[in-house]
Amino acid sequence: MKINVEEGLDKPFLPDGRHEVEITHVDEGKSEYKGVPFFACRMENEDGFVSQRFYTSAAGMPIIMDLFRAVGLEIKADKKLDTNQLIGKKLSVEVGDYTYNDPENGNERTLKQASHFEAA
């Protein structure tokens, strides 16, 4: 079998640890289990990438605020945040594994995630 490698898909996951990255892509969607809206950022550098979902729920807002502050975007009450403004922004992230039980089947899953956002 021959597998095409598209541009941008030729990078590995970033190893665990702190990395300076650039947000190169933002997607929107809804969680598979409860239908909670989210946006996902692809964060990368020359060494690799990590993708991180940000759920637009009350519980997820502090993390979203940390992300926007880390890239230097202004946050004001009663104003809408535009996720497209994140594209091209640089920041420092901590990459590590996150393990949880899948609500559909109870199986343990481990994902690579970005957290602890700081200005680059």
Residue 9 inside a domain? The answer is: no
Q: What are phi and psi of 98, to 5 degrees?
A: -130, 125
What is the pLDDT, as a whole number, of residue 3? 75
**What CA–CA distances, in Å, run from 21 to 2, 74, 76, 94?**
31, 20, 25, 10
Residue 6 inside a domain? The answer is: no
What is the pLDDT, as a whole number, of residue 101? 86
Q: 91 is in which domain, residue-wise?
A: 17-119
What is the pLDDT, as a whole number, of residue 7? 67
Task: Give yes or no for a contact between 39 and 53, defined as CB atoms under 8 angstroms apart.
Answer: yes
For the domain that residue 65 is a member of, what is the CATH number? 2.40.50
**pTM for the full predicted model:** 0.87
Task: Give yes or no for a contact between 67 and 61, defined as CB atoms under 8 angstroms apart.
Answer: no
Residue 47 inside a domain? The answer is: yes
Residue 62 inside a domain? The answer is: yes
Per-residue pLDDT of the chain (120 residues; tens, 9 = 90+): 887 777 666 789 999 999 999 999 999 999 988 899 999 999 999 999 999 999 999 999 999 999 999 999 988 888 899 999 999 999 999 999 999 887 778 889 899 999 999 999
Residue 106 inside a domain? The answer is: yes
Q: How many domains does the chain have?
A: 1
Residue 7 inside a domain? The answer is: no
What is the pLDDT, as a whole number, of residue 100? 86
